[in-house]
Amino acid sequence: MTTTTPAERPETTADGARADERLLKTSPLKKLLGRPELGSVVGAVAVFLFFAIVADHFLRAASLSTVLYASSTIGIMAVPVALLMIGGEFDLSAGVLVTSSALISSMFSYQMTANIWVGVGVSLLVTLAIGAFNGFVLTRTKLPSFIVTLGTFLMLTGLNLGLTKMISGTVSTKSISDMDGFESAKAVFASTITLGGVDFKITILWWLALVAVASWILLRTRAGNWIFAVGGNESAARAVGVPLYRTKIGLYMGVALGAWISGQHLLFSFDVVQSGEGVGNELIYIIAAVIGGCLITGGYGSAIGSAVGALIFGMTSKGIVFAQWNPDWFKFFLGAMLLLATLLNTWVRKRAEATT
């Protein structure tokens, strides 16, 4: 009895079996209600049905492919932004970082007349470094992430415009479509795959892969446990030896990785990049994550939820077009959706957490 080493503990299987019996008593409905993405799934189904009825072309395969494409461009960023939110922080620089990443890639290759992939590689390193910078400043200064990333947001916006004008002479980059490696890079970041007569953009695959990897990290790895912990109760996490700084810097680098993928997609689909783009997108990513059930104060949420949030975004933005409405209404819908989703999430969580 005096031994305290874990290995020497006997397994009481009888107790385990008894506990399993009791587990059956908790209703499956309550289990379902406890999922963070439930509210968003209900919302997504409602939005889908709404546009399926209202918009004539909405249910066509080609339309759904367009919806998925629109969702994926948001979803690729919403996944790491959701992870960051679960970890208790924001990143307001995420939107312009996408543009920065595309600009670096394009301009480096063009100026050095190097293979496109060299630029893509340099862009990855620089983008990750910016992400690490965000995390480093945050953890060292202990300033709120809202302020830190607002700072990087403004600095990057200025750098994007200033450096592009200085190097290219205009506000956009030069065309790089005739350079070595453009075709292969385009195949990776911006190609179209035809499945059963319907065209799907490759970003959908990137998106699904990111959701899968992020879910695995969150639910099955030690890092995932740390992410929930630093967002849920920072001081408690520190007290039991969770590496706070490493976790947060890693999360910001995750956002940077998403920005790099999005940025390369932007570059290889349009060939030229406008240096003023990306401003305001950071809020869209955050909204997608919140609609997907991420708690704005951290410690709660899921990667799948952020994907559903992005899907709601895609359906709404394209659905309004298919319904031939004035796209000005998009923002109104979005705002209403955000409020409803947050209310629903709060309600659901309260129900799920209530002890019986």
Asked if residue 229 binds another protein (CB under 8 A), the reply is: yes
Instruction: Tell me the closest approach of the beta carbon of residue 86 to another protein, in angstroms.
Output: 10
Site membership for another protein, residue 28 (CB under 8 A)? no
**AA letter at 180:** D
Q: Which is nearer to another protein, 187 or 219 (CB)?
A: 219
Its sign, for the CA torsion 124, 285, 194, 270, is: negative
- Phi/psi for 193 (5° steps) reads -110, 130
Q: Of residues 279-338, which lie at the interface with another protein (CB under 8 A)?
A: 295, 299-300
Using rule CB under 8 A, residue 242 touches another protein: yes
**Interacting residue with another protein among 28, 196, 239, 280 (CB under 8 A):** 239
Should residue 220 be labelled a site residue for another protein when binding is judged by CB under 8 A?
A: yes
Residue 237's nearest CA partner among 251, 248, 252 is 248
**Using the rule CB under 8 A, which residue among 21, 197, 222, 326 binds another protein?**
222
| Residue 23 binds another protein (CB under 8 A) | yes
Shortest distance, position 46 Cβ to another protein, whole Å: 27
Give, to the nearest 10 degrees, the angle between helix 203-220 and helix 303-322: 150
Residue 223 CB, nearest distance to another protein (Å)?
10
Q: Which single residue is written with the structure tokens 């050095």?
A: 112
Name the minimum Å distance from CB 27 to another protein: 12
Q: Is residue 21 part of the contact set for another protein (CB under 8 A)? A: no
67-106 residues near another protein, rule: CB under 8 A: none
Tokens of 331: 């923002």
17 counts as binding another protein under rule CB under 8 A: no
The candidate with the shortest Cα–Cα distance to 226, out of 213, 244, 253, 249, is: 244
- The residue behind tokens 């899968």 is 212
Minimum Å distance from CB 329 to another protein? 36
Among residues 216 and 347, whose Cβ is nearest to another protein? Answer: 216
Binding-site residue total for another protein (CB under 8 A)? 38
* Closest separation in Å from C-beta 28 to another protein: 13
Both tokens assigned to 149: 């990333």
CA distance readout (Å), 102 to 28, 149, 208, 236, 329: 46, 19, 22, 39, 30
Q: Which residues between 35 and 74 bind another protein (CB under 8 A)?
A: none
The residues, any chain, with a CB within 8 Å of residue 100's CB and separated by 6 or more, are: 126, 127, 130, 156, 159, 160, 259, 263, 278
State residue 201 phi and psi, 5-degree precision: -75, 145
Which residues lie across from 201 on neighbouring strands? Answer: 192
Please give the residue ranges that form the binding site for another protein (CB under 8 A).
1-2, 4-6, 9, 11-12, 15-16, 19, 22-23, 25-26, 216, 220-222, 224-225, 228-229, 232-233, 235-237, 239-242, 295, 299-300, 353-355
